Amino acid sequence: MLDSWSEVKDAFPAEVRDEYIEKFSHPDTVHAICEEFRASPTLDYEQDEADRGNRKISCPVLFLWSQQGSVAKLYDDPLAIWREWADDVRGGPVPVGHFIPEEAPEETTRQLLDFLQ
């Protein structure tokens, strides 16, 4: 997973890789992750549809996504989608794989600092 979902070779130092492996070795952790993904097309979708047009996020939102991942492949303008849900949306694609902070720590830090100022 760490190798196939990332675009940056060696983005995970040994100690970080070991921590991921240790956490993903627990069946309860894997089960919880599966439940999170299972909720997306069911419960999460239903709740989003109930909120659509009735609620907006009032605080600023920073949305970063992988330039190589499913968000970039499936949506022409991901920020436009978030603007339906929040008034102040910023962000953009980052030229990495799934693990944005690990693969692009400098870019992630820059985006966060700019956003938080």
> Tell me, what's the pLDDT at 64?
98
Tell me what pLDDT residue 82 has.
96
pLDDT given at position 5: 92
Per-residue confidence (pLDDT) for residue 73, from 0 to 100: 94
Mean pLDDT calculated for residue range 74-99: 96
- pLDDT at 11 (0 to 100): 93
The CA distances from residue 74 to 2, 13, 66, 67, 95, in Å, are 22, 31, 12, 11, 16
pLDDT, one tens digit per residue, over 13-66 is 999 999 999 999 999 999 999 999 999 999 999 999 999 999 999 999 999 999
Render pLDDT for 7-24 as a digit per residue (tens, 0 to 9). Answer: 998 999 999 999 999 999
What is the pLDDT, as a whole number, of residue 90? 97
pLDDT band, very low/low/confident/very high, at 79 (cuts 50, 70, 90): very high
Looking at the DSSP bridge assignments, the partners of residue 94 are 66
The domain ranges of the chain are: 7-55, 56-117
Q: State residue 47's pLDDT score.
A: 96
